Structure 1
Amino acid sequence: MSPPRPTICLVLAMFVATCGPGDPPADDTSPGTTSTTVATTVTTTSETTTTTELPTSSSTSSTSTSASDSCVTFDPNSCGESIVTIDISPALFVFALEKSVSMVSDPKGLWDHDADDLDDDGQSDLDPQQPATPKTTRWASLHHAVDATLTNFDASLITGLSLFPSDAATLDYTPAACPVDDPLTVPLAAKNSISILAALPPADATDLKGASPGAAAIAVATAELAAADPAFTRHIVYVSDGAANCRAGSDPPDLFEKFDDSLLDQIAAATAQEITTHVVGIAIPDLVSPAVKDGEPDSVNNHDLLNQLATLGGAPLPGPDQFHAATRESDLLAALDAIARASLSCVVTLDPPPQFPDTTEINVNDIHYGRAKVTDCASEDGWHFLDDGVTAELCGLACRDFQQAGTLDANYRCHDTPC
């Protein structure tokens, strides 16, 4: 893969500047002023031809650059307006998603996905006379969030999928609960949302099997991204509801009752190869797990553990939750959206550069943002040039639109006030 190149579509517009009387052409033998017509043909990318008649005068036409200081002159052969299509620089993402039995089991795998019953009494917190909405599985919420993210950013992200465990996992208390697809469940590709969503178990699945081989999923994702074009930023989105428990070479009960600390090494290895790991935790309590035989690592504070993973991955959040902590479905949606947007730059280089930056206009996703006018990118919608007059920064809604559309049109226009 290589960085995208701009596409230029030439559209009609040519101007002839007149800057006062000038000397007649050398071959002009008529004593007075005569007018002729020059027909100019412009071919557009839609394979249509437009003819424009440009009047010329032997006594008033001039393309000389020696006109008065207040006069702007143009070469009629180069002052054509054009539309330059610029694609976003995509980011590479592997979604490493936990699909273990804990994501659907009753009661652990069920959660108050819309947070309308925080006291867990079965009645709506907003209206105690009404029952709360039924709990749903953590997997259903994750499926919805991934679906929305892939759909929104399909034009901007190059994505792949690593499910842990794979569909081959069993419910046995053996290593058969810990397989991971190698290579990826779905390899990296552009506009990959349909393939990834087809590979996911349905949102209403209740028969997920297996444990949490998170380290193996990170290793496979790292290998795929390390082989990709380093010109793009590379990311792993690691989503889990607990501690990894499938350490290679271990046998039960250690296989499931001890944390697989090789996960730390795998994330550190990804970071060393300039691959950022974003950590998302689903319903992670800030407490130490009991030392009982339950298929979950003993004596582990999963909150502290995921904070550690986020720091190692190179994308810690400020505050007590350094990972993206989801306590409801909307948190998952917000986390994945924020991760995607943080990876997609809204600074673009206009290539080729416009001849007249002041009259350049930008359209994004069929929305006309006009000429550069934003003075505060943090609070305004639109765009502005950076110091070089060639690099543009999109702000607010223009940035968000660009991140999802994956492309913009820069309309290059001639100067407003020709002579």
Structure 2
Amino acid sequence: MSIRLLSSISLLALACNNDSNPLDSAGVDPGYVSGACIQGQCFAGLVCQGDNLCMSPGGGSGGDPSGDPGGDPTDGSTDGSTDGSASDTSAGPGGGPGGDPTSGPSSDPTVTGGPGPTSDSDPTTDPPMTTDEPVTCKNLQLDAPTTNLIFVLDRSGSFSVGTWDHDGNPGTPAVSKWSSLHKTLTAVVGKYQAQHKLGLMMFPSSAAASDYSAAACVTNTKPEVAPALGSAGAIGAALPAANAMLKGATPMARGLDGALSSLDSAPANEARAMVLIGDGSPNCSDSAPNTDGLFETLDTSAHGIVGAAWSNDQIPTAVVGVNLPDSYSSAMKDGNPDNTNPVEEFNKLAVAGGRPRTGGAKFYDATNESELGAYLDEAVYVTLGCELTLNETPADPTVTRVTVDGMNYAYSPNLDCSTGDGWVYSSGNNSRVRLCGAACEGLLSSGSAQVDLDCP
């Protein structure tokens, strides 16, 4: 006990050098009057008097600093107040007398009652919350789309009038252009009917007459055969016989309008296209002022129709000519537009339709049956759909990859699809991509492409 008491006296002696308020210190100056009581208690044997002051019980100014008057400073056994049971100076959890948790410095390093300060650099601090969802790489294997393709076919009287050297062999009899067209077209339809929806729109219709009147321009308002899979039989049945004598003028614009009205109902995820086939310049304009104007004036609205179909609706038109004369027609009453060169007009139609050929002739200019068959096949091929519908839009459109038949093709936002290789987005929300050039050819030959979305 004496050792403990001496320790308390030493602490009080150290505290007396502190000029601070006794309420702010860990001890008081031992003397007659030591200072104010702290919560009714005093240190080292002093007692709290009525004036709320800590005073020696003996009242002497030279009181024993141990708090035991007249006693052995090393023996605290004669005074119960010195046994540490009530005046022990050991600090409580808060550093204050009697373990008062409200006293003592808040910076006491032994205090563990709460967490320390945190900061952005505190390694124990949780990372900041984020609302961004993780981006998932997606690998899409997409088949080449089905195309709704309509053959817009000139069946005017000129197709069956006269003959041509269809095979370049003078030893074989000549045949009509219609006979060659019937043969080659049915072969091409049979080739593509399983995968693509093919239809037939003819101008004029079978009701057209060989009169120099509006009766020569009669055309149906919808296709003879609507686009469908496996339509070779229906198209073959709708075509006039190979040796038929055809009648009527060349109401090309009406035929195009009828075809487009049918394509409007095609499913959104399928491609749309037309192959225009003819042997002369268009007439039968709906705005013709009289009968002469109906036949002798070029109907340029056909150019505008194919141009709008391509530029506004991405419906391409490939143009095939069958033995067109490369000369200007005479200004005479003969049922043909005056002062018009059919080759020039078909070139314009091919450019407007979005599928021009390279070189001088922009359309497929067939001069015999063999060329006609090859050109019809190529015209179908270049109009088949090379647009792919994605299952979802990419989070980052700039990292989309398109691979066709093992070849990766680059994205180019300003790609001219008629001359370049690669691909572009073809919808405002990046949900469709259009393959061009070699990429398109690869898609059509292989039948599928891989599109990787959000794969860095």
Q: Give TM-score, length-normalised by structure 1.
A: 0.58
User: Residues of 2 paired with 1:385 and 1:243: CA distance?
Assistant: 42
Deviation at 1:259, TM superposition (A): 0.8
Instruction: Find 1:232's aligned residue among 261, 265, 270.
Output: 270
8 Å contact from structure 1 (residues 225, 275) kept in 2: no
Question: Does 1:93 pair with 2:132?
Answer: no
Task: Give the structure 2 partner of residue 220 of structure 1.
Answer: 258
Task: Give the structure 2 partner of residue 330 of structure 1.
Answer: 370
Cα gap change, 1:234 to 1:400, in 2 (>3 Å): closer
Task: Give the structure 1 partner of residue 333 of structure 2.
Answer: 293
Deviations 1:148-176 (A, max 9, x none): 11111111211111111101101111000
Task: Give the structure 2 partner of residue 129 of structure 1.
Answer: none
Structure 2 gap ranges (5+): 1-140, 392-403, 410-434, 449-456
Deviations 1:115-174 (A, max 9, x none): 23xxxxxxx3xxxxxxx3111111111111110111111112111111111011011110
Cα gap change, 1:86 to 1:154, in 2 (>3 Å): farther
Query: Which letter does structure 2 place at the counterpart of 1:227?
Result: S
Cα gap change, 1:333 to 1:298, in 2 (>3 Å): same
User: Residues of 2 paired with 1:270 and 1:96: CA distance?
Assistant: 14
Task: Give the structure 2 partner of residue 261 of structure 1.
Answer: 300
Cα gap change, 1:385 to 1:269, in 2 (>3 Å): closer
Cα gap change, 1:191 to 1:284, in 2 (>3 Å): same
8 Å contact from structure 1 (residues 166, 181) kept in 2: yes
Deviations 1:52-89 (A, max 9, x none): xxxxxxxxxxxxxxxxxxxxxxxxxxxxxxxxx98642
User: Residues of 2 paired with 1:275 and 1:346: CA distance?
Assistant: 12
Cα gap change, 1:270 to 1:343, in 2 (>3 Å): closer
Matches within 5 A, 1:8-407: 88-106=144-162, 110-116=163-169, 124=170, 132-205=171-244, 207-250=245-288, 251-271=290-310, 272-344=312-384, 384=406
- The one of the two structures with greater contact order (alpha-carbon pairs below 8 A, sep at least 6) is 1
Superposed CA RMSD in Å reads: 3.2
8 Å contact from structure 1 (residues 226, 273) kept in 2: no
Deviation at 1:230, TM superposition (A): 3.2
8 Å contact from structure 1 (residues 145, 332) kept in 2: yes
Deviation at 1:213, TM superposition (A): 0.5
User: Residues of 2 paired with 1:104 and 1:158: CA distance?
Assistant: 28
The SS at the match of 1:216 is helix
User: Residues of 1 paired with 2:353 and 2:442: CA distance?
Assistant: 30
The SS at the match of 1:280 is strand
The SS at the match of 2:316 is strand
Name the structure where strand makes up a greater proportion of residues. Answer: 1
Deviation at 1:345, TM superposition (A): 6.8
The SS at the match of 1:136 is coil
Deviation at 1:231, TM superposition (A): 2.1
Deviation at 1:336, TM superposition (A): 1.5
Cα gap change, 1:346 to 1:315, in 2 (>3 Å): closer
Cα gap change, 1:348 to 1:245, in 2 (>3 Å): closer
Query: Which letter does structure 2 place at the counterpart of 1:102?
Result: S
User: Residues of 2 paired with 1:95 and 1:331: CA distance?
Assistant: 18
8 Å contact from structure 1 (residues 88, 156) kept in 2: no
User: Residues of 2 paired with 1:264 and 1:244: CA distance?
Assistant: 10
The SS at the match of 1:236 is strand
8 Å contact from structure 1 (residues 89, 345) kept in 2: yes
The SS at the match of 2:237 is helix
Deviation at 1:348, TM superposition (A): 9.4
Count of paired positions: 270
User: Residues of 2 paired with 1:347 and 1:297: CA distance?
Assistant: 38
User: Residues of 2 paired with 1:145 and 1:275: CA distance?
Assistant: 24
8 Å contact from structure 1 (residues 93, 158) kept in 2: yes
8 Å contact from structure 1 (residues 100, 164) kept in 2: yes
8 Å contact from structure 1 (residues 233, 343) kept in 2: no
User: Residues of 1 paired with 2:379 and 2:195: CA distance?
Assistant: 13
User: Which one has a bigger Cα radius of gyration?
Assistant: 2
8 Å contact from structure 1 (residues 346, 402) kept in 2: no
Task: Give the structure 2 partner of residue 119 of structure 1.
Answer: none
Query: Which letter does structure 2 place at the counterpart of 1:144?
Result: K
Deviation at 1:180, TM superposition (A): 1.2
Cα gap change, 1:282 to 1:385, in 2 (>3 Å): closer
Deviations 1:83-129 (A, max 9, x none): xx9864211101000111100113xxx1111123xxxxxxx3xxxxx
User: Residues of 2 paired with 1:171 and 1:345: CA distance?
Assistant: 38
